[in-house]
Structure 1
Amino acid sequence: MTQTSPVRTYAEVLQQIKILQEEAEVLRRAEIANAVARVREAVSNYGLTAEDIFGTGKSAKSRSRTAETKTVPVKYSDGAGNSWTGRGRSPAWFLEALAAGKKPEDMLVN
């Protein structure tokens, strides 16, 4: 004997989905409350701080790169407070000085 599944309508399936979504949300809230309570207990018991739990906000890769960063010495200066290391895009003051007839060698920092 073959069992046939009951015939359901689209509206009935949508209603079941709605009921299940509501049930899932109730369970989600209960699980979140439980998780928060456990975290609060651990924070209290061990004297943890937000930094202990979440870190400093920088990734390990970012922290290691920052530790390795070295200061690049100034290579060019116009004598009016503008300076440039010679790395990256040329600043406007440097390009303007070149356009006015100066040579890069004229602006080298000794």
Structure 2
Amino acid sequence: MAINLNNYSLTDLQQLIADAETTLEKRQREKRAEVVAQMRKLAASVGIDFEIVAGEAKKRSTRSAAAAKYRNPANSGQTWNGRGPKPKWFKEALAAGKTAEQMAI
């Protein structure tokens, strides 16, 4: 099924996309409803009762960056929040005799 889209205006193409997305979503909902009905029928045939909880997919929680706990004494622009591997500057400062408490913010 090849459609020549070269003759469509931008507005027409945007409307075509919107219409296609609407139709796709409608068909997906219909297919889901059909599958759920088949599942219920199959489950009922063996004496199982179940509930399908429909909803949107769970969104991943977004975490804000942890506050910095340590600052590089040689370069105040470099900080570390204490999570993950120790940065090179932190290891070098420890090797040079500094303590973590001395670099704490």
Q: What's the TM-score once normalised by structure 2's chain length?
A: 0.45
Bigger proportion of residues as helix: 1
Q: What's the TM-score once normalised by structure 1's chain length?
A: 0.43
Compare CA radii of gyration and give the structure with the larger one: 1
